[in-house]
Each structure stands twice: as C-alpha cells, then as structure tokens.
Amino acid sequence: QVQLVESGGGLVQAGASLRLSCVASGRTFSSYNMGWFRQAQGKEREFVAVISRSGGMRQHADSVWGRFTISRDNAKNTVYLQMNSLKSEDTATYYCAAATDYCSDYGCYDYWGQGTQVTVSS
C-alpha cells in the first residue's frame, strides 16, 4: 500500500513557474515508477510525465516537453514536477501516481494522490 500526498499548486500568472511535490508513505517508494497526470475541468485525465524507479528514464508529454521536468528523490520518498513557462492551458488538477510498470497510460497506475490545483491566469 502506498499513500501519496501532493502539494505546491496555486494561482500564478502565465509565464511563471511552480514546483509540485508528491510525498509517498511506506518504505517501497523506490519500487514504483512514478507519474504525473492532470485533469482540466470537463476534460479527461491526461498524462504529463513518468519517471522510472531509479530516475534513469523519463518521459514527458508533447504538450509540456521543454517546459516541465519530472524528477525524484528516493531518499525523501518524493517525486517532483518542475513547471516553467506556465500557460493558461496548463490549468488543471495535477495528480501523482505510482505504478509497477513504466507506463504513460493512467490505467497502469495502482495508487493516486488526492490532487493539487494549478491555475494559470493569462
């Protein structure tokens, strides 16, 4: 069992930066691939980024490539999402999730956080 708690969301202007954090409970954090997803109001949940257990592999969605960066610190049981050059279309609830597979499909993920809201004003 893994419990995930996100933080770091907020209201910012376009062009600003935010860093989201997701802290995992338990001693098995390094056993999981970690992903970030987002869901805008009225839209389906979409993949943002995934990082492998060791951090050696990363993948970002085309929509955020070059602006967002996923990273992790296994000693702190934490995964991060650094978001730069934010746009109004990045407005959404952001969720972190844990999976045994390295995967960009939300169906692969076994555990989810409660989400943190990011709102970007233009």
pLDDT, residue 25, reads 94
The pLDDT of residue 26 is 77
DSSP structure class, residue 41 = T
Residue 1 confidence (pLDDT): 83
d(CA 5, CA 64): 22
Residue 32 has what DSSP assignment?
S
Residue numbers in the chain where pLDDT is lower than 50? none
**pLDDT for res 66:** 97
DSSP 83-96: E-S--GGG-EEEEE
- Number of Cα atoms under 13 Å in the Cβ half of residue 17: 9
The answer to whether residues 70 and 49 touch, using CB atoms and an 8 Å cutoff, is: yes
Q: How far apart are CA 74 and CA 97, in angstroms?
A: 15
DSSP letters spanning 54-118: TS--EEE-TTTTTTEEEEEEGGGTEEEEEE-S--GGG-EEEEEEEESS--SSGGG--EE---EEE
